[in-house]
Chain A
Amino acid sequence: MPLDWAYVAVFALVGAGMAALPLGLVWLLAPRSQYPQKRVAYESGIIPFGEAWSQFHVRYYLFGLAFLLFDIEVIYMYPWAVVLRELGGFAFVEMLIFLGVLGVGLAYAWGKGALEWV
């Protein structure tokens, strides 16, 4: 098992290195422009006003929160999925209850309008 995760770690490191390689090549090869305007953010050609880092709409948070809840519940279902065949009816009824609660939660969020893009 630790060997498996060592592979994952080495893949991440080598991948990051190989992804950074062309960036290094660009740094060596590419000519540099001297115009200061090159670093102005492109917002359809208008000179940007204000910061982009300001308030944005709450709806993004709503979807983020709903996702967080459901994703955690989904994680609980993987172990269930693996043993369903062995445990049979008992496991099925358990999951029926679990998914029922989850479904009620979804219906509640739906009814409250949390899934609407306003």
Chain B
Amino acid sequence: MGVGGLFGALWQVELVRMVVLAAVVFTFLAVGGPLFLVLAERKISAWIQARVGPKHVGPHGLLQTVADTLKLLYKENIAPYRADVVLFSVAPILVAVAALLDWVVIPFAPGWVVRDLNVGVVYFAAVSSLTVIGILAGGWASNNKYSLLGGLRSAAQMVSYELPLGFSLILVATITGSLSTVRIVEAQPYPAYLYPSVVVAAVVFLVAATAEANRIPFDLPEAEAELVAGYFSEYTPMRFALFQLGEYGSLLASSALFTTLFLGGWKGPFQLPGAGPVVNGLVWFVLKTYAVVFFLMWVRWTYPRFRIDQLLGLSWKVLLPVSMVNLLVAGLLMVVVR
């Protein structure tokens, strides 16, 4: 009864609750992530490039990604000769799980958060960096020179951008005096005299999150033209789909965290008529999150790819010093105004 002592008398109920919640969030992630976002990405890119985009499967091509996923089920999984088979198989699962774990601390609406961890933002930074390990492992295990280079590039890039990202999180924690995502939402709007610092932190966060998600203009790990898709070139369809799940899942999670930290989370500019606090919160949260996602897609289809020295230079020589100074300025302001 050691477990019972830990969780109180009804630990079975609690366990069922955990499993159901995990399954629901995973389903939401798979449907709201790759399944919807890949279609959205294709439609938006088509719109930006004055094309039509997917059109034939379902009304206006809405079922395109569903059809693609079904097709992937009929493609054999193979690993290359002399690959490290265990690492090769675990890597995509690790990336998908990392994207799922991000969602434990994201508050959807008042009272609607899986677990309001008291170290929320640190937890987010920690589990989202599991992706690096998955990508590096995948690139290494493939025993393909391009994959290895893609994996290494990805690791160099993602760890470099984790630092400015961390400084943005620290700035928000300094202002709210808490690391809990729920408390951070409740503390918004932030005091007006801190707006300049918050805006700088938000921009740094957005740039770093784009780089963490390996998206254009920071998609060097994949770089089709140079690295034949980088770390996942050896991956057969369903495992590739798991990488996609991880990539779009963490894109969605980063957008959700951006919404939580800088856009007021579930709080809207006005109360929706006839909606309770939960529905109101959910609607605003989803709207804001997908607006951020749309912005990132817009950036993707507008800018060309960086060179890797420019990319790392931007992180270490611009974003990192800027966010350090920004944090000090904000701290000084807070101490003085207090």
Contacts and interface: CB of A to CB of B under 8 A. Distances in A.
A51 B84 CA distance: 12
A48 B245 CA distance: 29
Q: Is the interface of A mostly helix, strand, loop or mixed?
A: helix
Interface string B311-333: 01100110011001001100110
A103 B316 CA distance: 11
Contact of B104 (A7, A20, A70): A7
Interface in B60-94: 72-83, 89, 92-93
Contact of A82 (B96, B146, B162, B178): B178
Interface string A1-41: 11110111011111110111011011101111100001111
A30 B80 contact: no
Given A26-B75, A29-B73, A115-B316, A74 B163 contact: yes
Nearest to B69: A22
Interface in B292-325: 308-309, 312-313, 316-317, 320-321, 324
B104 A8 contact: yes
A85 B332 CA distance: 11
Given A14-B23, A63-B160, A106-B321, A40 B100 contact: no
B74 A40 contact: no
Given A30-B74, A64-B159, A6 B144 contact: no
Contacts of A63: 156, 159-160, 312
Interface residues of A, number: 71
B167 interface: yes
A2 B245 CA distance: 29
Interface string B99-116: 011001000000000110
B335 interface: yes
B79 A39 contact: yes
A19 B97 contact: yes
Interface residues of B, number: 88
B66 to A, nearest CB: 13
Interface string A42-72: 1110001001110010011001101100110
Given A41-B234, A52-B144, A83-B177, A117 B155 contact: no
B195 interface: no
A85 B177 contact: yes
A1 B115 CA distance: 10
B312 A15 contact: no
B18 interface: yes
Given A78-B122, A92-B331, A102-B324, A20 B93 contact: yes
Given A8-B104, A85-B334, A115 B97 contact: no
A14 B77 CA distance: 22
Contact of A52 (B7, B143, B312): B143
Interface stretch (B203-211, B235-243, B263-271, B281-289): B235-243
Contact of A43 (B140, B146, B177): B146
A88 B336 CA distance: 8
Nearest to A4: B115
A70 B146 CA distance: 29
A92 B142 contact: no
A85 B77 contact: no
B200 interface: no
Nearest to A10: B18
Interface string B133-176: 00000001011111111001001100110110011001101100
Given A11-B114, A44-B228, A63-B160, 7 more contacts: A7-B18, A11-B22, A15-B22, A25-B73, A30-B74, A53-B143, A77-B170
Interface of A: 1-4, 6-8, 10-16, 18-20, 22-23, 25-27, 29-33, 38-44, 48, 51-53, 56, 59-60, 63-64, 66-67, 70-71, 74-75, 77-78, 81-86, 88-89, 91-92, 95-96, 99, 102-103, 106, 110, 115-117
Q: Which 5 A-B pairs have the closest CB atoms?
A: A117-B309, A14-B22, A81-B173, A15-B100, A10-B18
